[in-house]
Amino acid sequence: MPPAARIAVVTGASSGIGAAVARRLADDGMTVVAVARRVDRLDAMAADHPNIVAHGADVTDRFAVASLAERVNAQFGRCHVLVNNAGVGGGAFTGPESVDGLLHTMQVNFVGAVHTTAALHGLLAASAPSQVVNVGSVSGKLGVGPADYCASKFALVGFSEALSLSWTHEGIAVTQLNPGFIATEGFPQRQLVTSRFARFVGAPEDAAAAVAAVVASPVRERTVPRWYRALVTLRHVAPPLFWALASRTSRARGTRDP
């Protein structure tokens, strides 16, 4: 099916990776329903691009997500691509005082994706072949960094892997996209971009290009930048070496670099 006939829904689309993905898919000719809480930013994007439609919603609110699905169905009658990108970071887990923060991170990063995927499942199935792209993280494969963020992304990886098997018969491909360090408004990576490791930090457009690639040719998993895949492999083939190296990083303290 040509891109011009396809409908995509992108959450967390008001900035960072989500905004870059919405613009990239719209540039490729798809009609993109850009979803986020900051409607003013979405409206500005829609004003700049005829293929972008703004829709304000909080993915942690299942009723708001149900309204999103109702609008997509009423306005377009189909949905070919869902990109679950809405997410937040997290801090160190230190005890009881950290539980509320962990639950909030899980609600946005994992449960929000569950709500959206569930609400749009019927349209995705009716529009098959279709695809869900869940924007996870390398932290969802390695467990290095804030515990709440890692837990939410590990959950999203497991959810994606299970659906990639169970939804195949419906014609719905499910991809986990696992970015490494990507400099965005919410995750500026200031410490890294001013160091000798700056060349290892990607841009939102890198992740958007990866999303466009897996939409064009579905796979179950994609890491971006690709070299981060070596760390995931090392974690499984040589765990002692991986943990020895990981323990020397600043994120071994369970915090996120500024």
Cβ atoms 33, 11 nearer than 8 A: no
Catalytic residue among 52, 123, 138, 149: 149
Residues 198, 246, 105, 257, CA torsion sign = negative
Only one residue has tokens 């990108």, namely 85
- What lies within 8 Å, CB to CB, of 167 at 6+ separation is 132, 173, 174
Catalytic-residue membership of 228: no
Residues with a known catalytic role = 149
